[in-house]
């Protein structure tokens, strides 16, 4: 059967579409039919337990829309799901790998739109479609598993057998007949528990269950309040995000790839290093950064998900953990910062550094 307005039948179109996705630089691609996600009950139980912390967009309408992938975009029947690597072999450093390049929302949306334009050119007619890049009410990892890209690791990441888990996921929801890919049914974690063992805050409370309220990624990026004091020492030198449960994963050790799209490659200025002196220098730079410098330095970067005061709060924790007496002047200056949470974290850090110095 040919697709509307084109001589290609559905399997041919699907095959060419997936080839086009790889041609655009994506590391994995597949097709899923839309419907109720297999993991919706697990998502609801997680939410009901409050493990999503203060991410209020996951409640209310957001939760209803996530309950069925046919809801977010009227008329859509299938999802073209793609993944792009942000991995690489450089040390993790104080800023999570995903945030070191240009803002992935923008980069991937542009590529997914190219896929949409290719479809319209190929079919010779408009196609009702909408791109989603970690920005809409979709359980994207569920959709990716359904599209055959990979499985849910015990660290809650979507792991692909050929490119590991340092991947951005994006979907184009389309109103179009396509041939669904075979879902990825296998669980290739086996008896491994490396991610659960390595998590410094115990946020992976059981395999595939992440308590965001204990997760360094959530706390440094999404949480707009004080960081719980008992957890602060576990942050080490991390300032924005955390890659630990991904770094230890054997699938990443073996298969991670350098960023597939050039603009996802790390920008200058983000330390891709675990060297303590570099982490301290970066933290001090954040501590003294003005609003204008913040806007200029991080223009077009995903790191702006955290406001400047949040980065300064996080930098205080990093200096409290890995700083020395040489960092005290910068921390002391923040003790009079206009934001009360920066003041409180700076005082905490001063006490820690002072105590360490006295030992
Ligand atoms: S991102 Fe870090 S804190 Fe969060 S679950 Fe993974 S290892 Fe734990
Ligand atoms: S570290 Fe092991 S258990 Fe965790 S996601 Fe990777 S393979 Fe699975």
For 151, what's the count of Cα atoms within 13 Å in the CB-facing half-sphere? 13
Q: Which active-site residues does the annotation give?
A: 134
Structure-token pair, residue 254: 């073996």
Cα 238 to ligand 2 centre (Å): 21
Task: Note the pLDDT of residue 266.
Answer: 85
Check residue 308 and report its DSSP letter. Answer: H
Instruction: Please tell me the residue having the least CA distance from ligand 2 atom 6.
Output: 249
Task: Note the pLDDT of residue 231.
Answer: 98
CB within 8 A of 75, min separation 6: which ones? 128, 175
Task: Extract the runs of DSSP E, i.e. beta strands, from the chain.
Answer: 28-33, 78-85, 129-132, 151-152, 158-159, 167-174, 204-206, 209-210
pLDDT grade, residue 270 (50/70/90)?
Answer: confident
Cα 251 to ligand 2 centre (Å): 7
Statement: residue 1 has pLDDT above 70: no
* 130 touches 69 (CB < 8 A): no
CA 256 to CA 85: how far, in whole Å? Answer: 8
Instruction: Please tell me the residue having the least CA distance from ligand 2 atom 4.
Output: 195
From residue 295, alpha-carbon distances to 93, 208, 268 in Å are: 22, 36, 16
CA 38 to CA 358: how far, in whole Å? Answer: 55
CB within 8 A of 20, min separation 6: which ones? 115, 118
Kindly report the average pLDDT of the chain as a whole number: 94
Statement: residue 3 has pLDDT above 70: no
Mean pLDDT for the stretch of residues 152-159? 98
CA 51 to CA 38: how far, in whole Å? Answer: 19
CA 306 to CA 330: how far, in whole Å? Answer: 20
Cα 282 to ligand 1 centre (Å): 21
pLDDT grade, residue 269 (50/70/90)?
Answer: confident
Q: What is the pTM of this model?
A: 0.94
């Amino acid at each position: 059967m040919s697709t509307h307005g084109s001589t290609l039948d559905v399997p041919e179109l699907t095959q060419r579409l997936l080839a086009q996705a790889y041609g655009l630089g994506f590391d994995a691609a597949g097709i899923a039919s839309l419907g109720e996600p297999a993991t919706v009950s697990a998502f609801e139980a997680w939410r009901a337990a409050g493990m999503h912390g203060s991410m209020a967009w996951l409640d209310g309408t957001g939760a209803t829309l996530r309950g069925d992938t046919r809801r977010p975009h009227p008329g859509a029947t299938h999802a073209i799901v793609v993944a792009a690597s942000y991995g690489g072999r450089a040390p993790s450093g104080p800023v999570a790998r995903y945030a070191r390049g240009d803002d992935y929302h923008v980069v991937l949306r542009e590529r997914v739109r190219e896929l949409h334009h290719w479809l319209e050119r190929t079919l010779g007619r408009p196609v009702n479609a909408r791109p989603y890049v970690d920005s809409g009410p979709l359980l994207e990892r569920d959709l990716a598993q359904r599209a055959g890209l990979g499985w849910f690791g015990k660290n809650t990441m979507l792991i692909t057998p050929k490119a590991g888990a340092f991947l951005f996921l994006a979907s184009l929801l389309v109103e179009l007949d396509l041939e669904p890919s075979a879902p990825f049914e296998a669980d290739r974690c086996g008896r491994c528990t490396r991610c659960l063992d390595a998590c410094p805050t115990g946020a992976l409370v059981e395999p595939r269950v992440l308590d965001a309220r204990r997760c360094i990624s959530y706390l440094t990026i999404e949480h707009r309040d004080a960081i719980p004091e008992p957890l602060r020492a576990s942050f080490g030198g991390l300032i924005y995000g955390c890659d630990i449960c991904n770094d230890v994963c054997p699938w990443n050790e073996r298969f991670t790839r350098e960023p597939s799209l050039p603009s996802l490659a790390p920008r200058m200025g983000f330390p891709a290093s675990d060297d303590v002196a570099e982490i301290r220098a970066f933290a001090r730079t954040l501590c003294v950064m003005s609003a204008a410098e913040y806007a200029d330095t991080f223009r077009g970067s995903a790191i702006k998900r955290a406001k400047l005061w949040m980065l300064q709060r996080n930098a205080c924790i990093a200096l409290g953990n890995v700083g020395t007496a040489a960092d005290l002047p910068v921390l002391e200056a923040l003790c009079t910062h206009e934001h009360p949470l920066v003041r409180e974290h700076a005082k905490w850090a001063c006490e820690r550094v002072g105590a360490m110095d006295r030992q």
